[in-house]
A and B are shown apart, each in its own frame.
Chain A
Amino acid sequence: MSSSSTACEPSTVSPTVSAGREDCADTQPLLPPPPSRRERPGAWAIRGWISQRRYWTLALLGLIVPLTGWLLLADLGTVNKVFLPSPLDVARRVGTWFRDDDLLGDVQISCYRVVAGWAISALLAVPLGIMIGTFRTVQALLEPLTDFIRYMPAVAFVPLVMLWIGIGEGAKIGIIFIGTFFQMVLMMAEDVRRVPMTQIEAAQTMGATRAEIIEQVIIPSAKPALLDTLRITMGWAWTYLVVAELVAANSGLGYAIIKAQRFLQTDKIFAGIILIGVIGLAMDQMFRLFHRLAFPWLYARQ
């Protein structure tokens, strides 16, 4: 940085003359040009730019329009309410569910099942993923097997899980585990493999041992990606909830949906689906917030 800015001596001649010189930055203060409409690529330019306000307006519009369409379609009587209940019916149903049918209890038990199944997956997948992504031997031994199992439909494991684990809480957690674990291992192995080789080699040239490289380079380097994988697989765990609660459940959001189907309570089915969506979204946002707090260096910019 030492030899960069010495070429231009401030001019001692009059400002008009110095402004005419082309080889030096001049000393005259320059006014910025008036703002132009062409300053940024527009709304329809490829990877263009829109203002924060327009973004939120559009986002809101994208939510309100389908909701209004749904409201009109259902409340104008064009569609039978058995097929499409009105959003108001759904809202009312959430209300009665909360008052009379222990909605909070259902939410609680469902959250417990999802988080437990997912957490057991994570507990096993993190070390396995790190081993597979680090050592070719472990990769050869385990990756083809995992790849094979992950294509097996988790739903089809329901009878087997009942046979092996029974019909208690363990079975529901087991289904969610089967649905998430194998994907999780493979994604985590990939996260670990994406740690730049130069980061590892730099540690080697500094004399780091194998254990030190895993602990101090590979794991910290892969951590943000691993947390992202945990966030994504949490979403998948929620999608297996309904299947899991097919197994002799008598509580939970998934069970409520299945029961509502039996009584043709379409509004309750809608309510259950939307509640699962909302809880999933909330958890996703929590993961994103945690990501920002845990890895400030990723978000630090010049």
Chain B
Amino acid sequence: MTSAIRCRGLWKVFDTATARVVALQNLSLDISEGEFVTLVGASGCGKSTLLRTLAGLETYTAGEIECGGARIEGPGVDRAMVFQHYSLYPWLTVMENIKFTRQLAAHTRNRTSADVEAASGRADTLLRLMGLADVAAAYPNQLSGGMQQRVAIARALMSRPRILLMDEPFGALDAQTREVMHDLILHVSRLESCTVLFVTHDVEEAIYLGRRVIVMAPRPGRIDCECPVPLPEDREQHMKHAGAFLDLKDRILDRIRVTSGMKTDTELLDKLSRGRDERARTLP
């Protein structure tokens, strides 16, 4: 299998007024063509930074990133991104949002009438695939959060990207909608046979979606471990209760807890509650 994304010795360092922050520390990563990889970690671990760097939205200090063998210099039409929210254009209808990418110069160079026809067919297909056929003429603010993210995904897929980068796309959705979206994105990514790199802070989501889960750790941002997911390729909701699923979830949560230093200070809690008891006793 060829590498869709290849990262070697990636560093991103930036200076703030008070300190030097290492957002990404000597990061190396390989993602194969067609793979669905999820990135999970505590906030500040650099998972979004890594995704944005791959999208070409952020610069990096050192190292090299290649996408399909070509060095990443900035945003490109081979990589599409889905954001958590506010990325749709509220002045355009759902259909116009999805077709937005088609009228940009990057896509209209050397375009023939056959391409135009194919594109409008593609938009129709995506509308139906994402369950948006009934709302094609609606404006985004007339849709629920889940429907809006469907539009965002359809728009990202419009230009047939090789790689789909998703930055906590379901983070703002309720649990039920999220489950529906999980099955939808798994289905669509297989149908489109594109590589997906999916950032989330939800470990369950990461395991359910990913063929492989990459756990990142903060301060400095780095890869802590990589876990292949021991589940069949066709995911079904009941697998969330499988022993292998729960074991992996425990292991990953544990790694996140250890690396992020986010443990409850039981000693302090103890002291505080003792103090309160003593005060209670001294009162008349």
Complex CA gap A81/B80 in Å reads 74
Q: Which chain A residues in 3-37 approach chain B with CB under 8 Å?
A: 3-4
Pick the residue among B86, B165, B180 that contacts A3 (CB under 8 A).
B180
A201-B83, A202-B83, A301-B142 known; A207 vs B180 contact (CB < 8 Å): no
Pick the residue among B84, B89, B105, B183 that contacts A199 (CB under 8 A).
B89
Complex CA gap A13/B75 in Å reads 61
Mark B122-150 against chain A: 1 for CB-CB distance below 8 A, else 0.
Answer: 00000000010000001101110000000
> Which residues of chain B are within 8 angstroms of A202 by Cβ–Cβ distance?
81, 83, 87-88, 152, 155
A206-B104, A207-B101, A220-B89 known; A1 vs B180 contact (CB < 8 Å): yes
Pick the residue among B76, B90, B176 that contacts A4 (CB under 8 A).
B176
Q: Which chain B residues in 178-228 approach chain A with CB under 8 Å?
A: 179-180, 183
Q: Which chain A residues in 199-241 approach chain B with CB under 8 Å?
A: 199, 201-209, 212, 216-217, 220-221, 223
Complex CA gap A202/B107 in Å reads 15
Give B131 Cβ to nearest chain A Cβ, in Å: 6
Complex CA gap A207/B73 in Å reads 12
Whether A207 pairs with B81 at a CB distance below 8 angstroms is: no
Residue in A closest to B140 when the chains form the complex, CB atoms:
A297
> Which residues of chain A are within 8 angstroms of B142 by Cβ–Cβ distance?
300-302
Complex CA gap A301/B143 in Å reads 9
A4-B180, A212-B104, A297-B141 known; A207 vs B76 contact (CB < 8 Å): yes
B interface residue count range (under 10 / 10 to 19 / 20 to 34 / 35 or more): 35 or more
> Which residues of chain A are within 8 angstroms of B79 by Cβ–Cβ distance?
205
Give B83 Cβ to nearest chain A Cβ, in Å: 5
Whether a CB of chain A sits under 8 angstroms from the CB of B31 is: no
Residue in A closest to B131 when the chains form the complex, CB atoms:
A1
Whether A220 pairs with B76 at a CB distance below 8 angstroms is: no
Whether A295 pairs with B91 at a CB distance below 8 angstroms is: yes
Complex CA gap A54/B165 in Å reads 53
> Which residues of chain B are within 8 angstroms of A300 by Cβ–Cβ distance?
138-139, 141-142
Whether a CB of chain A sits under 8 angstroms from the CB of B55 is: yes
Pick the residue among A2, A4, A206, A217 that contacts B77 (CB under 8 A).
A206
Residue in B closest to A211 when the chains form the complex, CB atoms:
B105
Enumerate chain A interface residues (CB-CB to B < 8 A).
Answer: 1-4, 196, 198-199, 201-209, 212, 216-217, 220-221, 223, 295-298, 300-302
Interface CB pairs A-B, < 8 A, 5: A202-B88, A207-B106, A297-B91, A298-B90, A300-B141
